[in-house]
Amino acid sequence: MTLKHKNNTNTLSKSEVNKINKRYIRGVDKFRRMFVGLSSNLKKYEDGIIYIAIENTEKIKLSNFKTVEGVVESWIDCNGELKQAKGWVVFAYKTNASTGFMISNSDLENQDVIKKVINEIKVEKDLQLVNIFSGILTELNGN
């Protein structure tokens, strides 16, 4: 991926952001989605600022600064394209919809489990903005 330099800071194109999202979701975020009820997506990386949206059921982790900061650190640690970022903005939403699930082979024969999963998938998603968090990355990446 190529970084576009804009006023000596980094900006990624929409297609580059999409590639990073796919890689991160398949490699890292899927576990949060399945086991924690929290999903995150890189929305853009512009002028050295990382923009992320988080959807959280808040069944395990609250949508607070500590949780958000951990998600941002993970995005930076797992994506070299973001290592030179100077700051971040995260939009944290509470959701009523499942962010992911896991079914074992034995569950495939259990109609109650299958019905539960189908009902979770059918839920009409309702997002409520909890907060907008931001930070400077001097401590996270040594800038």
The pLDDT score that the predictor gives to residue 101 is 75
The pLDDT score that the predictor gives to residue 6 is 44
Q: Where are the domains of the chain?
A: 4-136
What is the mean pLDDT for each group of 10 consecutive residues in the chain (143 residues)? 48 96 96 95 97 97 97 97 96 93 78 78 87 84 44
Q: Does the predicted TM-score (pTM) go above 0.75?
A: yes
Quote the distance between the C-alpha of residue 62 and its chain's center.
14
The pLDDT score that the predictor gives to residue 7 is 41
The pLDDT score that the predictor gives to residue 9 is 53
